[in-house]
């Protein structure tokens, strides 16, 4: 079941996420490398290390899409092809409407639900500006999540609501972001 965003007057037009330690609990460039394989809905690297989302990430991504919010990825990893391959492979479980069912279905990957991907080593400012351009939106219409303070500081500096993610994306962190986004929008429109 998708999250309800009731009580929020303003919703962002886009939510942009870092990858490492934001959507998943690892640094892509610290993996053993390719080949990356998908077997039984699990992505592994050459050594068999599993690459999985933080628990709340599928619900968050599906809920954003259900509310018409575009999703972007902004990663500064130097392991560009590795990150791109994982984004292409990593399955996104469907959200179960029927809680009595124990079966999990997968019909999409992260790449299927993301609307813009910027993966290359540079300032996150460049990533965010490129995503805003692709979406044809203003920077202040974006909600950004990242695990590094320097990125949060840089992106706030260009007028984007930015949220520090300390222990992976959670529903609580998303709601904190939506609340801060609403406060920022009230300041603009009041």
Query: Given this model, what pLDDT does residue 105 score?
Result: 66
pLDDT < 50: residue spans in the chain: none
At residue 72, φ and ψ (nearest 5 deg) are -125, 155
Is 20 in the active site? Answer: yes
136 as an active site residue: the answer is no
Asked: is 15-189 a CATH 3.10.450.50 domain? The reply is: no
Q: Determine the pLDDT at residue 168.
A: 98
The whole-number pLDDT of residue 102 equals: 56
In this prediction, residue 104 carries a pLDDT of: 63
| Contact present, 19 and 79 (Cβ < 8 Å) | no
For residue 98, the model assigns a pLDDT of 56
Question: How confident is the model at residue 97, as a pLDDT?
Answer: 62
Q: What's the CA gap between 21 and 11, in Å, rounded?
A: 24
Q: Indicate if the alpha-carbon torsion angle 66, 172, 105, 91 is positive or negative.
A: positive
- pTM beyond 0.85: the answer is yes
Q: In the chain, what are the domain boundaries? A: 15-189
Structure tokens, 1:
């079941």
Please, are residues 128 and 144 in contact by the beta-carbon 8 Å criterion?
Answer: yes
């Amino acid at each position: 079941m998708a999250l309800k965003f009731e009580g929020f007057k303003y919703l962002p037009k886009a939510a942009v996420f870092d990858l490492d330690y934001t959507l998943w609990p690892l640094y892509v460039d610290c993996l053993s490398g390719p080949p990356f394989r998908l077997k039984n809905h699990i992505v592994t690297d050459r050594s068999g290390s599993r690459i999985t989302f933080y628990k709340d990430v599928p619900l968050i991504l599906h809920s954003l899409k259900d509310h018409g919010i575009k999703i972007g990825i902004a990663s500064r990893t130097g392991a560009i092809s590795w990150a791109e391959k994982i984004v292409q492979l990593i399955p996104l479980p469907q959200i179960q409407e029927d809680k009595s069912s124990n079966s999990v279905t997968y019909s999409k990957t992260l790449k299927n639900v993301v609307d813009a991907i910027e993966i290359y080593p540079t300032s996150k400012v460049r990533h965010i500006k490129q995503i805003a351009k692709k979406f044809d939106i203003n920077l202040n219409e974006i909600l950004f999540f990242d695990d590094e303070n320097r990125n949060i500081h840089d992106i706030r500096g260009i007028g984007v609501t930015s949220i520090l993610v300390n222990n992976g994306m959670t529903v609580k962190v998303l709601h904190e972001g939506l609340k801060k986004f609403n406060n920022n929008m009230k300041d603009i429109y009041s």
